[in-house]
Amino acid sequence: MMPLYPLYINGRFIETSERQNVLNPSTGKVIAQACLAKDSDVDLAIASAREAFDKGSWPKLPLDERKKFIFKIAQGILNKAGDLAKLETENAGKPIKETTFMDVPSAAKAFEYVANNFESYLVSENLNISEEAKAKLSREPMGVVVLIIPWNYPLLIASWKLASALAAGNTVVLKPSSLTSLTAFELGKIIHQAGLPAGVVNIVNASGTKIGEKLCSDKRVDMVSFTGSNEVGKHILEYSSKNVKKLIMELGGKSASLIFSDVDIDMVVNSSLCSIFLNQGQMCTAMSRIFVQDSLYNKFVANFVEKAQRIKLGVASNHETQMGPLITDSQRKKVIVYLEKAKAEGAKILCGGKIPQAPELKNGYFFEPTVITGVNPHMHIFKEEVFGPVAIVGKFSSAEEAVELANDSDFALASCIWSRDLSLAEGLAKRINAGTIWINTYGMFYNRAPYGGFKQSGFGKELGKEGFLEYTRLKNVVLDQSPDAKPLVNYWYGF
């Protein structure tokens, strides 16, 4: 029997008449059905979250009690780790190695980290403003928070956002991507089993075009935290402006990796392969622009292309698979269009650029790891996010030129610097316009370190103390202790 995933609203699992087939990108086959929310379901979810915040126990719960619930969610993820990894692989096309060793344990650790630290983040601060006055700064939950999750890291990014939002005392309406909703619904089951009060977490599923405006424009919603494309992000900004609210926007990227000639060639090639072909290149932090110092360029390109051609494509559930399918056929077509445009503009494809012909891959949305050169800053593929397994490799002569190439982008999410000269690397990091700079590594996300970009990559942070505090509001209470309880304003008009 085909698995059916209901909505989760106000502590109840709700089946709807309208449903969606959920596909496995490796095979193109239907693996489940997910219920789709109508406007009335979205309204109920928002109303339930509002009621739970305004009149429920969750925001008022003692912090040590709230902490226990967050730990229960973390443990619930670990208890179902194998099943969650398998489901994420089947639904999102992520190789089982990635979901098993990265996504699922990292999701649990996100909850664990917040549970262990959020009480210290919420400690009030007392300020002695003057001899007469003092102030108390305190953190409060924002209220009702809408969390909108992308399809490339469904469970992990949902966990990043949920852990902070819940620990801060907010109530939540979670909207996963309709392409990859299954692990979000499983997370809903874990939350339900953890015993959180009804209405604290609500999960609705539908296309963003159908319910996005209703979620983001509703005045009962205090905050929207979104991770996804710039195109959708601009719509969310428009919707949210109808009733002003706080936003976190983690949008796209066109990240640059700068490789200097003093590095170990094998290490930097292997690391660079991971930086663009992990998750099939479907990462906002993908190092899709790789710039190599000219004295190392030819050797790097030869090694990089040779190893890119050896990456094993396969069905994502196979433990030997190193790169799985793209999320949909339409996403694959988008990649092909970018490559055709790049060739027409003068770029050269050194490897890949095609749909693999292996019989076992014919029904999935696979695409070969692709390396292109001869790209200049005026080309579309240099400027725009492809979101696929396509690496641009260029060269630079000086550190100054490297910085110019890295910063020649509307995006500013992340960057890599590879050099044994740490003084050089740290100096360049100050000059590169990006929210996260990795030196001699890639993709290391730590729960205690904030993450987020600048420019067209959005605003706001996830993770760390800074990311947690995004889900709070700061209140200032001023107490005047003037003699005889008569502050200066008492005398202003001379009465």
Question: C-alpha 151: how far from its chain's center?
Answer: 9
Q: CB of 204 within 8 A of CB of 9?
A: yes
The SS3 assignment for 246 reads strand
Q: What angle do CA 19, 25, 27 make, to 5 degrees?
A: 100
Tell me the Ramachandran region of residue 352: left when phi exceeds 0, alpha when psi lies from -120 to 50, beta otherwise: left
What is the residue-wise DSSP string for 190-215?
HHHHHTPPTTSEEE--S-HHHHHHHH
Reading the block at residue 33, the tokens are 């059905």
- Only one residue has tokens 């003037």, namely 482
- Round to the nearest angstrom and report the end-to-end CA distance of the chain: 82
- Residue 90 and residue 183 in contact, taking contact as beta carbons nearer than 8 Å: no
**Catalytic residue from among 250, 368, 385, 462:** 250
368 included as an active-site residue: no
**Residue (of 73, 10, 88) closest to 44 by Cα position:** 10
| Residues with active-site annotation | 250
